[in-house]
Structure 1
Amino acid sequence: MKTLIIFKAGSTFADLAQAQGDFEDWIADGVGNALPVSVVDARKAAALPAFDETAGAIVTGSHAMVTDRAAWSERLAGWLREAHWRGIPLLGICYGHQLLADALGGEVDYRSQGMEIGSVPIDKTAEADNDPLFASLPRHFMANVVHSQSVRRLPPDAALLANNAFEPHQAFRVGSSSWGVQFHPEFDDDAMRCYVDRLADDLTAKGVDVAAKWREVVPTAEAASLLQRFGHLVATHNDA
């Protein structure tokens, strides 16, 4: 049976990982048991998975930056580009969202407005009403975010699925089976508050009310539901 690959592109803070697991664990929990899941650390793997053994792939977030052009990241971008053209379902999260956009002809760079962090409102576009992952979401929903870089320009022919007042490209789809989401569907309240705490000094220096950010963290069940739907979509795609 083919496997859903979770490409590990980075790690969370060590103490948070010890208490709650790491990015790949949260994603695997969210995806559920629709099909087997395998984790591949893209930074360390000697070789990336064979396409004919891959049911779909998810790329995690990372504390790295796409514009650093690390060798492992560029290699993964090439793999994603080929997987997209083969029609393998793909989901990029935060760093993964940016890397997928870059791989498919978009542009990534630092946000001119600075970091976006916390539980924030997301607006679904009309284009998302017929999208397999986004159609069942409400027009407005909450999601957890933490990013300093963004997709500044979408890939050619990409469908914009979500945005908000601070980030014009919160989610996109290219073709019928490649998605990127800037927000973190895998983050729970504790993870989000941990990031606010850890980045408090930088945020305070930029005039952000850290205490208010911390209090504004809320449950984000609608955003989290994307992971299970993606798992079912991959399973259905491979049964067809």
Structure 2
Amino acid sequence: MGGVRVLVVEPSRLDPSSPLGGWLAAAGADAEVVRPAEEPLPATLDGYEGLIVLGGLMGALDDLEHPWLAEVRGLLSSAVAKQVPVLAVSLGAQLLAAATGGQVRPMPKGPEAGTLLIAKRDVAAEDVLLGPAPLTPDVLQFHGDEVSVLPPSAQLLASSPKCENQAFRVGSCGYGVQFHVESSPAVVRSWIERAPEIAAAARPGHWDDEHLAEFHVDLAETWRPVVERFVGLAGTPVDERRSSRFLPLA
């Protein structure tokens, strides 16, 4: 018997699914990675039990340069409508918001970057994914755009001083997180090289090698269990999610 089938969309090779892929496999997921800039996306989510969309340096509405973005938004919209669990990261979160009635814009006060903390909202205490996480978990920020208006059906789960809509849930199981949980020190180095204008927003010391190495150990301790809970959610039939374990409170 196979594992939980999860489609992982990588908009850019600059944001690969490792180490996330290892976390998914260890949790019992059978992850299929697709890079829409290089190969066709599945037409539907038939046969998949979860959808993960990662980040990239393009904007969520840059369809002229990246026409496949519309297809990614279509998959996200379909997943929310069909209650297929979604974990959308950074650009993925912006695509999720845009696909379900929210708005995305450049950040008015400039980019948010560095090894920072977010603050969970009170309602997140009852959420199946974020409920057990610390009140102020470690996250990696590296973005110049933000979700400025949440979709009508969204519940805000976490914020930061510079960016209010850090984590949200659309519908019953469509999760968007503006920050990164899937990075590694080497991947962050590649972002700094390709987008120095965003990297410059970090405070001194945040990009030091020793700091990044230590930070990613803490990042894994917090977010690997969240990914494990996501796989558990994806592997649970919709009707069984009515139980208290899987029913997030609005």
Q: TM-score range by the shorter chain?
A: 0.7 to 0.9
Distance 1:185 1:201, change over 3 A: closer
TM-score by length of 2: 0.82
Q: Which one of the candidate residues 157, 164, 176 is aligned to 1:161?
A: 157
Matching residue of 2:182: 186
Distance 1:75 1:195, change over 3 A: closer
Structure 1 unmatched runs, 5+: 13-21
Kindly indicate whether residue 33 of structure 2 is the aligned counterpart of residue 39 of structure 1: yes
- The secondary structure found in structure 2 opposite 1:6 is strand
C-alpha RMSD over aligned residues: 2.3
Matching residue of 2:246: none
Structure 2 unmatched runs, 5+: 241-250
- The AA in structure 2 aligned to 1:8 is E
Matching residue of 2:225: 225
Kindly indicate whether residue 228 of structure 2 is the aligned counterpart of residue 235 of structure 1: no
Q: Which one of the candidate residues 92, 95, 99 is aligned to 1:96?
A: 92
Matching residue of 1:128: 124
Distance 1:179 1:163 in 2: 14
- The secondary structure found in structure 1 opposite 2:183 is coil
Please tell me whether the aligned partners of residues 83 and 238 of structure 2 are also in contact (alpha carbons under 8 angstroms).
no
Q: Which one of the candidate residues 45, 57, 61 is aligned to 1:63?
A: 57
Shift of 1:213: 2.6
Shift of 1:104: 0.3
Matching residue of 2:48: 54
- The secondary structure found in structure 1 opposite 2:109 is coil
Distance 1:239 1:105, change over 3 A: closer
Matching residue of 1:18: none
Distance 1:168 1:63 in 2: 20
TM-score by length of 1: 0.85
Matching residue of 2:142: 146
* Matched residue count: 228
Please tell me whether the aligned partners of residues 106 and 154 of structure 1 are also in contact (alpha carbons under 8 angstroms).
yes
Distance 1:47 1:194 in 2: 25
Matching residue of 1:15: none
Distance 1:91 1:52 in 2: 17
Identity of aligned residues (%): 28
Shift of 1:103: 0.1
Distance 2:132 2:107 in 1: 29
- Residues 110-135 of structure 1, C-alpha deviations (whole Å, 9 max, x = no match): 11111111111110001111111000
- Residues 86-107 of structure 1, C-alpha deviations (whole Å, 9 max, x = no match): 1111111001000000000000
Shift of 1:32: 2.9
Matching residue of 2:207: 214
Distance 1:58 1:186, change over 3 A: same
